[in-house]
């Protein structure tokens, strides 16, 4: 029986070496390693491995961009992303690209063997730690007593719409949108910094839908 084949990419040499050693120990054939996104994508195109384990953030191409390119070219390689980010909107971007796995880097070496086994068996694997704080976030949101209108505007903010675009979409005055934004910032106890509401809305997109 042939060994599973994999390409790994990360711009941190120590993590890359640790991943390579772990995979070899698990009897998986590492076809190539890469330390940037362009090189990683080139290796995937060349070898068409069963699996690619990619850092989310690399020079030239991110792991998400590589996944998107593979999807467009119908390259069948299954992709597991490694990331430092716990924001659920990034996780959902990964799911939309039909990624096979999404691991937090701090747990990667302990979860990777199980993730690979799960993915090679045709299933998806996502770090459970991603969802640890979601229930408390939902409870916090409910306690803020946001109105239906405020939640609707929050959802549109999460999509990246400006106050004017939201006003046009909802057929209300722009100053009304700005008033709602101010109320939400106060209720959520956010700092009155530029983009603080946008960042909060994108991070918590799941619980405002």
Block means of pLDDT (10 residues each) for the chain, 209 residues, are 90 89 91 96 96 92 92 93 75 77 83 89 82 55 76 88 91 92 85 76 74
What pLDDT shows up at residue 98?
A: 76
Give the DSSP H or E segment for 9: strand 5-9
What pLDDT shows up at residue 171?
A: 92
- CB count, 10 Å around CB of 164? 11
- Reported for 200-203, long-range contacts at CB under 8 A and 24+ positions apart, including other chains, are 201/154, 201/155, 201/157, 201/158, 202/87, 202/89, 202/158, 203/87, 203/88, 203/89
What pLDDT shows up at residue 193?
A: 67
pTM (2 decimals)? Answer: 0.64
What pLDDT shows up at residue 195?
A: 76
Using only C-alpha atoms, the chain has a radius of gyration, in whole angstroms, of 20
Helix 163-170 and helix 174-187: axis angle, to 10°? 110
What pLDDT shows up at residue 6?
A: 96
For each of the domains in the chain, give its residue range(s) and CATH number, in order of start: 5-130 (3.40.50.2300), 134-208 (1.10.10.10)
**Would you give the DSSP letter of residue 121?**
T
């Amino acid at each position: 029986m042939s060994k599973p084949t994999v390409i790994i990419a990360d711009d941190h040499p120590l993590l890359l070496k640790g991943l390579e050693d772990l995979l070899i120990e698990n009897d998986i054939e590492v076809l190539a390693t890469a330390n940037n996104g362009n090189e990683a994508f080139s290796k995937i195109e060349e070898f068409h491995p069963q699996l690619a384990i990619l850092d989310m953030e690399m020079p030239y191409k991110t792991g998400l961009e590589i996944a998107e390119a593979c999807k467009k070219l119908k390259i069948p390689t299954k992709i597991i992303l490694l990331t430092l980010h716990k924001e659920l909107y990034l996780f959902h971007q990964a799911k939309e690209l039909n990624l096979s796995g999404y691991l937090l880097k701090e747990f990667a070496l302990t979860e990777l063997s199980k993730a690979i086994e799960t993915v090679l068996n045709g299933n998806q694997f996502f770090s459970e730690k991603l969802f640890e704080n979601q229930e408390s976030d939902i409870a916090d949101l409910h306690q803020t007593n946001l109105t239906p209108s405020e939640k609707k505007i929050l959802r549109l903010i999460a999509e990246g719409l400006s106050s004017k675009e939201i006003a046009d979409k909802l057929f209300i005055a722009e100053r009304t949108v700005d008033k709602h934004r101010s109320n939400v910032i106060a209720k959520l106890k956010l700092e009155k910094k530029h983009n603080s509401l946008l960042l909060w809305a994108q991070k918590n997109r799941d619980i405002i839908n």
